[in-house]
Amino acid sequence: MMASNKPIYCDTCDSFEPHRPLSGEEKAWLKDRIRARNVDNYLMCTAEGCRNLRTGMNKAPFTPELRVPPPPE
């Protein structure tokens, strides 16, 4: 797995931004959303307001883009 907050290209931000692996709750949300068994290779952009998903090798795995919803307040 890629190191936390490593700057990689974000297709939505159109710049290199920090990304992190998904939390357990975020993985559960994504599994349900895309009907996949394993989502360990997905990373989320941590730029303010972005939360776009990508994998280590694919900067735009979803069309349209798929963003993790913010945690409930």
pLDDT tens digits, one per residue of 29-48: 999 999 999 999 999 999 99
With CA atoms as reference, report the closest residue to 64 among 8, 7, 9, 11: 11
| Beta strand residue intervals within 1-73, DSSP E | 6-10, 15-21, 42-45, 53-55
At 56 the pLDDT is 87
pLDDT tens-place string over residues 7-32: 999 999 999 999 999 999 999 999 99
| Domain spans, the chain | 6-55
